[in-house]
Amino acid sequence: MSRGTVVAKRYAKALFQAAQDKGLVAETENQLKLIVDVIERNADLRAFLTAPNITLSTKKQTLLQAFGAEVTPVVLNTVILLIERGREGELAAVLAAYLQVAGDALGRSDAHVISFAPLSDDEQTKLAEKFGALLGKKIRVTNTVDPELLGGVTVRIGDTLYDGSLKGKLERLNKTLHSAAI
């Protein structure tokens, strides 16, 4: 496990504990996602937050103005703490670790489903039920489309990949045929 991952988990656990104490677990998740999305999509903001010649107080003030009305002090203080310690590059890792920590505590997991075509709400519900029964957790599904799959789906839950795509099946068949030919 890399040092960054360990640090991100530490921050995520502390943020989860603070959010749980205040009864704001879901809100904290949404607010942290908001901040990470804004920073990742805005190269100027990323450059501003990582610039060594800009004072910490200016960075804090900018974050307060940008997000103060949108997020709770718990989330904002965590982001500011990361910046104070020069760990602004860890924000996305903290979000991923927070999702993991919150999911483990609440008996929930996120399934990232990649499909050939967009899944209907009914198909997403069926996938969530099937994997929920398999893992004994409540599953939240997010769907992205990748036409290169040719058909079927891949489902990533945590570190586990379930590959039911036609592309994956063809690749496995190709490997089998190559290993049998040797």
User: Residue 42's pLDDT band (boundaries 50, 70, 90)?
Assistant: very high
Supply angle C-alpha 46, 85, 37, rounded to 5.
Answer: 30
CATH architecture of 109-181: 3-Layer(aba) Sandwich (3.40)
Handedness of CA 35, 37, 40, 41 (dihedral sign): negative
Per cent of the chain over pLDDT 90 is: 52
Sequence spans of domains, the chain: 3-103, 109-181
Instruction: For residue 149, give Cα distances in angstroms to 4, 40, 112, 154, 168.
Output: 32, 27, 15, 9, 8
Asked if 137 and 105 touch (Cβ cutoff 8 Å), the reply is no
Looking at residue 3, its pLDDT comes to: 62
H helix intervals, the chain: 3-22, 25-41, 43-50, 56-67, 73-84, 91-106, 121-135, 166-181
Tokens found for residue 82: 């990361």
| Tens digit of each residue's pLDDT (9 = 90 or more) over 63-119 | 999 888 889 999 999 999 999 998 888 999 999 899 888 888 888 888 999 998 999
Global pTM reads: 0.71
CATH architecture of 3-103: Orthogonal Bundle (1.10)
Whether the pLDDT of residue 177 is over 80: the answer is yes
Looking at residue 2, its pLDDT comes to: 57
| Tens digit of each residue's pLDDT (9 = 90 or more) over 117-144 | 999 999 999 999 999 998 888 999 999 9
Q: Is 152 left (phi over 0), alpha (psi -120 to 50) or beta?
A: left
